[in-house]
Copies of this chain bind each other. A is one copy, B any other.
């Protein structure tokens, strides 16, 4: 039996008894934007092309808005868990089915919902369109998910290309029951730039962490983030996503965002964390000589990351030698920075009882329960 197989097949004996906080779960639509257009005004429905359209209009684009998602890098193994299909619906589309399959089965106490199909709204050229889609989603999430089961908690979505509308939306939704975070989809403006400061100010004021998540549009759309070279295959594309997070986290640290907004917390969802280790080490070393470039930093760069940035566990590293996992976790300060995520219902779902097996129990408990509680605070109650 190979080492990898041994890790994967280790029995789920060392169970976390209760209280798991799952920080990256995706509610999804059955028919894309059509699921939420009822939360828009009639004039917006018309503007987006929903209304009198015949079916044929959809066979040639440009008659109806479509959510920008990845249609060029294709996971032909299927991007969803094959067994996560509720009767008559799409994976992640049914709150009751998800509650049974994910929450009940795995003893998950709170699941933080991150809009499963709004990842890419930063690619909309019209910022008002992104704002309207985000607001409709937030209303839909409130009604369909947060009011359905109190174990669901929501990240409200805001349009990254429209700070003014984003702030208004935070005012409108930020204190609604069940809201625990702000999901800020990625855009081609780096996260440390002034563009976003009104959003960060509002997030800090409301005590809401900001969540970043892969947009699914990297290297696909003109205004989406890019990797250093455009990948050809999904395999490359999926592996290279850490570049996007590295660039954004560096940008925030170096622009002094965490000095300007000292209570701001960032959660990198589904981004991995091994890139963050290199980022911390290199920033710290280079900063010794280059601090006059960023004189507003009063501490070593890694300290900002350690204090302000959190990482979800999925996708979790699987070292060839299992003994290498512990030093990786130490280097990323996992006892403070890692929070568990299953990424349900995506294809690379992690079972909380298995994915972290082999990690010593106190650390597992921090990752699965306590760090999530610390990040979202009273809003989880």
Minimal Cβ-Cβ distance residue in B for A28: B60
Minimal Cβ-Cβ distance residue in B for A120: B61
Contact of A219 among B59, B125, B216 (CB under 8 A): B125
Binds B, one of A7-15, A200-208, A221-229, A355-363: A221-229
Contact of A62 among B59, B68, B79 (CB under 8 A): B79
The CA-CA distance from A344 to B176 in the complex, in Å, is 51
Binds B, one of A41-49, A258-266, A267-275: A41-49
Judge if A328 is at the interface, Cβ distance under 8 Å.
no
Q: A220-B221, A232-B125 are known contacts. Are A60 and B69 too (CB-CB below 8 A)?
A: yes
Judge if A72 is at the interface, Cβ distance under 8 Å.
yes
What is the distance, in angstroms, from A342's C-beta to the closest C-beta of chain B?
17
Judge if A185 is at the interface, Cβ distance under 8 Å.
no
Instruction: Say yes or no: A72 contacts B221, CB within 8 Å.
Output: yes
Residue-by-residue, is A119-158 near B (CB-CB < 8 Å gives 1, otherwise 0)?
A: 0000111110000000000000000000000000000000
Instruction: Say yes or no: B54 contacts A85, CB within 8 Å.
Output: yes
The CA-CA distance from A30 to B54 in the complex, in Å, is 12
Instruction: Say yes or no: A124 contacts B32, CB within 8 Å.
Output: no
What is the distance, in angstroms, from A3's C-beta to the closest C-beta of chain B?
30
Judge if A78 is at the interface, Cβ distance under 8 Å.
yes
Judge if A57 is at the interface, Cβ distance under 8 Å.
yes
Q: A49-B76, A76-B47 are known contacts. Are A126 and B89 too (CB-CB below 8 A)?
A: no
**Chain A contacts with B in 85-127, Cβ cutoff 8 A:** 85, 89-91, 93, 116-117, 123-127
Instruction: Say yes or no: B59 contacts A30, CB within 8 Å.
Output: yes
The CA-CA distance from A78 to B63 in the complex, in Å, is 5
Q: A62-B79, A74-B49, A126-B233 are known contacts. Are A56 and B89 too (CB-CB below 8 A)?
A: yes
User: B residues within 8 A CB of A124?
Assistant: 72
Judge if A231 is at the interface, Cβ distance under 8 Å.
yes
Contact of A57 among B59, B80, B232 (CB under 8 A): B80
User: B residues within 8 A CB of A54?
Assistant: 85
User: B residues within 8 A CB of A220?
Assistant: 221-222
User: B residues within 8 A CB of A351?
Assistant: none
What is the distance, in angstroms, from A161's C-beta to the closest C-beta of chain B?
10
Instruction: Say yes or no: A63 contacts B85, CB within 8 Å.
Output: no
Q: Please, could you name 27 A-B residue pairs with CB atoms under 8 Å apart, sorted by A?
A: A28-B60, A29-B59, A30-B56, A48-B76, A49-B76, A56-B85, A56-B90, A56-B91, A60-B69, A60-B79, A60-B116, A61-B70, A62-B69, A62-B71, A63-B76, A65-B72, A72-B124, A72-B125, A72-B221, A125-B230, A126-B232, A221-B221, A221-B222, A222-B222, A222-B226, A222-B230, A223-B230
14 extra A-B contacts, CB within 8 A, seeds A29-B59, A32-B59, A57-B79:
A47-B76, A54-B85, A56-B85, A60-B79, A60-B80, A61-B71, A61-B74, A62-B216, A62-B234, A63-B78, A64-B74, A73-B125, A125-B219, A125-B232
